[in-house]
Amino acid sequence: MTAPYRVRRADGPVIAEVRVPPSKSIANRALVCAALTDGDSRVIGLAPGDDTSSMIDCLQQLGAGIGVRHEDGASVADVVGTGGELEPGPLTLHAGLAGTTSRFVTALAALGAGPYTIDGEPPLRERPMGPLHDSLAALGASVEPGERPGHLPVSVSGPLRRADAVVMPGDVSSQYVTAMMLIAPYVPGGLKLWLSTSLVSRPYLEITKAVMSGFGVDDVEVHQRHVTVGAGEYFPTEFLVEPDASSASYPLAAAAMVGGAVSVHGLGSSSVQGDARFVEVLASMGCLTTVAAHSTVVMRRRDTPLRGIEIDMSDISDLVPTLAVVATQAVTPTRITGVGFIRDKESDRLGDLAAELVKTGARVSVESDGLLIEPTDLLSPARLDTHHDHRLAMAFGLLGLVVDGIEVVDPDVVSKSWPMYWDVLAAIPARRPA
């Protein structure tokens, strides 16, 4: 583990145009679709970071040919698909810390002869996988748990069979549903997935639908309590990945907290990502915002106070740490609701987030399905633990722009999604000469 990173406080307003990495969520979905095609595809705009690397490694083991190169400033994956015929096992597929990779690859494994053992680092072994395992078993897959049922490691083998319907909860993780959607064209008769509880993070399923359509699968319906996908196949294509809206939340939030203006290039009104609406959240807190075709801008005068809000973030839950940190600077309380399920992310994103912010003197309370952040006059220096969570690390970095003496423990955890984050953050604010 590297030494804690001490964030340098901004003495002047933010004035910056920022380029954020391509969307990890979109890129990983596109890689899975490309790997299942019978032909050659190009995925343009791979997200940097460990999650993408782990996805590529697993797909290569399953038989996809993937070469990564740089072209015109973008990372490009040339993918030779498997045609749905995966490399037989036994194979061990290691997902590192990547929940997305572990869940997508577990579903993929059910298409092959196996056996495939899906595993990950200790923190990933703690994350729940049971609903996905149960759904694959309901389609005829052999699912053999390791040390703890419903967790990694797990051994999976196909083939899958036709089923009238599969039932899973919709309020634990949208990644389970996406994993099933991605393999659904290769399930005999397609997939009818009924949700026993209402969906959370529905925009991520819309991303999945859009990516599947980009690879030629259009027979997809997403509803609040059921998802259907017709049988078919993906077709080779060239797929362009848009900038990551979740990553964009951090520089945009910096403008809200410090004052000034930040523009994120390439993320605009045509984005398919639900997290792109974070700009609307900042507008409701008193920021000025502009969303054009190919850019998003957030501005705030330093003499204009931030207002607290009450908001259901069930559809944009990855941004809870970002908003919580912004809310520490508001003059009225902020209540975040609808996100009890994020206790099972890379960290307990309610309890761990609150506990760390309290170290600074922030008034943060955990509620049944969210957080209450109340105003306080002065925050203090503190050393903040990231709890193996890249989103906590990046959010705490923002706090350091307005609170002198913030140190972020295990700063390299940002390599999961944005390895250059600290360099970008250091370059954003205007500062008085030392």
State yes or no: cis peptide before 236, omega within 30 of 0.
Answer: no
Helices 351-358 + 320-327 axis angle, to 10: 30
Rounded to whole angstroms, the Cα distance separating 219 from 209 reads: 9
**303 assigned to active site:** no
Nearest to 390 by CA among 55, 126, 51, 57: 51
The answer to whether 248 and 291 have CB atoms below 8 angstroms apart is no
Beta bridge partners of 93: 118
The answer to whether 122 and 147 have CB atoms below 8 angstroms apart is no
Q: Give the angle 61-30-416 at the CA atoms, nearest 5°.
A: 70
Rounded to whole angstroms, the Cα distance separating 320 from 330 reads: 15
Rounded to whole angstroms, the Cα distance separating 94 from 87 reads: 16
The two three-digit tokens of residue 226, written as one number: 């059921």
The answer to whether 107 and 86 have CB atoms below 8 angstroms apart is no
Identified catalytic residue from 318, 352, 385, 389? 318
Rounded to whole angstroms, the Cα distance separating 227 from 24 reads: 23
Nearest to 338 by CA among 371, 373, 369: 369
Give buried/exposed letters for 374-409 (b at 16+ CB in 10 A, else e): bbeeebeebebbbbbbbbbbbbbbbbbbbbeebbbb
Backbone angles phi, psi at 323, to 5 degrees: -65, -35
Nearest to 26 by CA among 231, 178, 190, 250: 178
In angstroms, the Cα distances linking 76 to 22, 66, 294 are: 11, 10, 21
Nearest to 374 by CA among 333, 432, 339, 318: 333
How far is C-alpha 255 from the geometric centre of its chain's CA atoms? 22
User: For the chain, what is the radius of gyration of the CA atoms?
Assistant: 21
State yes or no: cis peptide before 375, omega within 30 of 0.
Answer: no
For the annotated catalytic residues, the residue numbers are 318
